[in-house]
Amino acid sequence: MTVNKKDVLLSLHDLEISFGEGKQKFVAVQDVNFDIYRGETFSLVGESGSGKTTIGRAILGINPTSHGEIDFNGHQINKKLSHQEEQEVTRKIQMIFQDPSASLNERATIDYIISEGLYNFHLYDSEEDRLQKVTKIIEEVGLLPEHLYRYPHEFSGGQRQRIGIARALIMQPDLVVADEPISALDVSIRAQVLNLLKKFQRESNLTYLFIAHDLSVVRFISDRIAVIHAGRILELADTEELFTNPLHPYTQSLLSAVPIPDPELAREKKLVVYDTNMHDYSVDKPKFVEVKPGHFVYCNAPEEAHYRKILEEQGQLTK
């Protein structure tokens, strides 16, 4: 897969998402800046409650934003849109939900669940054309045409998630927000779903925003990774760069927590504990800085100098 880094599909600028007003106002996400290039898998990684899903839902227009811009295909979408613009964004940005049990209508057949978007946007010429499209996508996700006339409760978790993938991809979207799509699945099924997502990306040049908390999973599927904590992006880099050269202490902490299958190596591994009090931002305020081409870290001036010194000692930066 070739990613054109000049072709920005989605761009977030100084994004803030808050809930409530006045003294009850809670800022869930702030100062979020990143671009997603067409054809890539951009992963957003962090612990529960860090703001990952909040950002994903804001991109889909579910969560309102209190500041900043979300630009999709060169047009701002977190503002008042006309009905036609709203319809276009809804069709072009689809979501794969975390829980395959809760995200499917138990009273509807699989045929209707997958066809609902086609009905709403009139994306078929005739009943025969609709059935042909639904049959094709159900086979592409590894299920059978006879499954179309069954109900969600008749399927396993992995099969349900395949149905959710089919429902999203039949719309032929430009961007798919995958909100922890494998976290509710058995380990044996996870690789199958990830391979399925990569297959569709190769064939249709799909772009993914992949939301997860498991770094070992995102290493397999991602082109670039952004690490989020307490509503802020703390580090962003190409996948191998982030794993080889993590700079922010929180990223180092997450990587140290990734399980190692070899018990002898696991015993030797040292866990890195992240302490927010280690940063003194009382005077020198931090900002999102590009310390190396394509590698961004949230830091203040002394921390930036420290990170650059590390990179120079490793021969990755020239003085």
pLDDT digits (tens, 9 = 90+) for 43-55: 999 988 999 999 9
Please write the tens of the pLDDT for every residue from 176-191: 999 989 887 887 788 8
Residue 72 pLDDT level (bands cut at 50, 70, 90):
very high
CATH number at residue 102: 3.40.50.300
Q: What is the 3-state secondary structure (H, E, C) of 109-173?
A: CHHHHHHHHHHHHCCCCCHHHHHHHHHHHHHHCCCCHHHHHCCHHHCCHHHHHHHHHHHHHCCCC
Q: Does residue 317 sit within a domain?
A: no
Residue 5 pLDDT level (bands cut at 50, 70, 90):
low
Q: Does residue 305 sit within a domain?
A: no
* The total number of structural domains that make up the chain: 1
Q: Does residue 306 sit within a domain?
A: no
CA-CA distance, 149 to 90, in Å (whole number)? 26
Across 29-37, average pLDDT? 96
More confident residue, 188 or 28: 28
Does the pLDDT at position 130 exceed 80? yes
Please write the tens of the pLDDT for every residue from 242-276: 999 999 999 999 988 887 777 777 677 788 888 88
Q: Which percentage of the chain shows pLDDT scores above 90?
A: 73
In one letter, which amino acid is 206? L
Q: Does residue 316 sit within a domain?
A: no
pLDDT of 215 reads 82
Q: Give the list of residues 6+ apart from residue 14 with CB closer than 8 angstroms, or none.
A: 31, 32, 33, 67, 68, 69
pLDDT of 298 reads 96
Q: Does residue 69 sit within a domain?
A: yes
Residue 277 pLDDT level (bands cut at 50, 70, 90):
confident
CA-CA distance, 159 to 142, in Å (whole number)? 9
- How is the beta sheet containing 67-72 ordered, strand by strand? 26-37, 8-19, 67-72, 75-76
Contact 239, 222 (CB under 8 A): yes
- Map tokens 């070992």 to a residue: 216
pLDDT of 119 reads 95
**Which pTM was predicted?**
0.92
Does the pLDDT at position 100 exceed 90? no
Pairing assessment for the beta strands 41-45 and 224-229 based on DSSP bridges: parallel
Pairing assessment for the beta strands 224-229 and 207-212 based on DSSP bridges: unpaired
Q: Does residue 309 sit within a domain?
A: no
Residue 121 structural domain: 8-277
Does the pLDDT at position 307 exceed 90? yes
pLDDT of 160 reads 93
H/E element, 75: strand 75-76
Residue 10 pLDDT level (bands cut at 50, 70, 90):
very high
